[in-house]
Amino acid sequence: MSVLLNVKDYEDPAVKICPNGTEGEIVELGGLLICLPKRPPKKEIFGYKEPNAMQVWRRIPMPKELSRIRSMDEWSEMPREFREKFRPYVEEEFRRRREGFWFYNNGKPTYITGTHYMYLQWSKIDVGNADFRESNRLFFIFWEACKSDKRCYGMSYLKNRRSGFSFMASGETVNMATISTDSRFGILSKSGADAKKMFTDKVVPISSNYPFFFKPIQDGMDRPKTELAYRIPASRLTRRKLNEGETEEELEGLDTTIDWKNTGDNSYDGEKLKLLVHDESGKWERPDNILNNWRVTKTCLRLGSKIVGKCMMGSTSNALEKGGNNFNFSPS
């Protein structure tokens, strides 16, 4: 893993990743010092009562009563007593999404970021739910540091096959998009067909399987092919005139989209992106060139000198003469 830098001089103390500003253990990943959040009291760490051999990551099932609810509209129609009963559960899930999650792993207090928690707990992949892997935990900690550092464009990750990068990147795309307003998220791969497949087979299913309390209002088809739009459908705005019980607050949309582009040196040229996922970036073959494309797309992540978006770039590498050489660069 390496950092996509904005400046050449990168001398600095550890990057803090706690959203509440706490400071805990400092770890080094890919040459970057990262300050983890402060460890909470023992009794607040999941699994503290269990024997060491039983302390592992476990996905926590949603209460059955909530699993039947498909949308915030259905939630708002439930009796007040029902909503008050389960409100603490929903609020705790939002807290874990923001702050991360601590659990005991064979006697060791272990921290995962909020993005990693969303991936393990709520993201459906090709095998169902993802397994906990220590390598993925380090990946997400490194990524959180890249997001937190205002000088950084993102990360470049030379990976092994079947490491899960495409699913992790898809999970992060949906995670960020469903809490971002007026934003655009883009996907590129070694070909347009590959970018489309990542969108339709990974991003869309992850979004569709989020629990109702994490799902924004969505426009268009349930299984779109080109764009996933978190905005208010025009038909719903029309019906609002006939529904006096619907409030302005219920009609708020994010106005955020996720889409993909065909592979090319100028893909996304001139557009502003909150997140760009560069999948299989070490496999671009002539006439396409990942180095030329990066010179273009990194401008989509900044306004003037201020970085306003991030890039998650990852790939196995082709032979040098088949795209690998262009991926072997210092992306400053």
What b/e readout covers 215-225, taking b as 16+ CB neighbours within 10 angstroms? bbbbbeeeebe
**167: closest CA among 135, 138, 129?**
129
What pLDDT, on the 0 to 100 scale, is given for residue 38?
96
CB 172 within 8 A of CB 312: yes
Could you tell me the two tokens for 235? 């038909």
Q: What is the pLDDT of residue 287?
A: 84
What are the backbone dihedrals phi and psi of residue 307, each rounded to the nearest 5 degrees, phi first? -80, 125
Integer Cα distance of 206 and 320 in angstroms: 34
Distances (CA, A) of 29 to 105, 112, 155, 208: 20, 15, 12, 33
| Domains located in the chain, CATH noted | 2-327 (3.40.50.300)
Dihedral angle at the C-alpha atoms of 35, 104, 60, 168, nearest 10 degrees? 40
Task: Report pLDDT for 301.
Answer: 95
Distance CA 101, CA 47 (A): 12
Strand (E) positions, the chain? Answer: 2-5, 15-16, 26-29, 32-35, 101-105, 108-112, 124-125, 128-129, 152-158, 184-188, 227-230, 256-260, 275-279, 302-303, 306-307, 310-315
- Say if residue 61 is exposed, middle or buried (CB neighbours under 10 Å; 0-12, 13-18, 19+): exposed
| Sole residue written with tokens 């970057």 | 32
> CA triplet 159, 197, 146: central angle to 5 degrees?
40
The single-letter DSSP state of residue 37 is P
Phi, psi of 331 (to 5 degrees): -80, 65
Residue 228: the pLDDT is 96
Rounded Cα distance, 289 and 264, in Å: 7
- DSSP symbol at 154: E
Give the pLDDT of residue 261: 95
Cα of 193 vs its chain's centroid, Å: 22
DSSP 102-148: EEEETTEEEEE-HHHHHHHHH-EETTEEPPP-HHHHHHHHHHHHHHH
CA–CA distance, 290 with 297 (Å, rounded to integer): 10
Q: How far apart are CA 310 and CA 319, in angstroms?
A: 27
Amino acid of residue 311: C
Look at strands 256-260 and 124-125 and give their pairing: unpaired
Query: For the stretch 266-284, what's the b/e string if a residue is b when 16 or more beta carbons lie within 10 angstroms of its beta carbon?
Result: ebbeeeebbbbbbbbbbbb
In tens digits, the chain (332 residues) has pLDDT values of 766 655 444 456 899 999 999 999 999 998 899 999 999 999 999 999 999 999 999 999 999 999 999 999 899 999 999 999 999 999 999 999 999 999 999 999 999 999 999 999 999 888 888 999 999 999 999 999 999 999 899 998 887 777 789 999 999 999 999 999 999 999 999 999 999 999 999 999 999 999 999 999 998 888 899 999 999 886 654 444 445 555 544 557 899 999 999 998 899 998 999 999 999 888 888 888 888 899 999 999 999 989 999 999 988 766 666 656 666 655 55
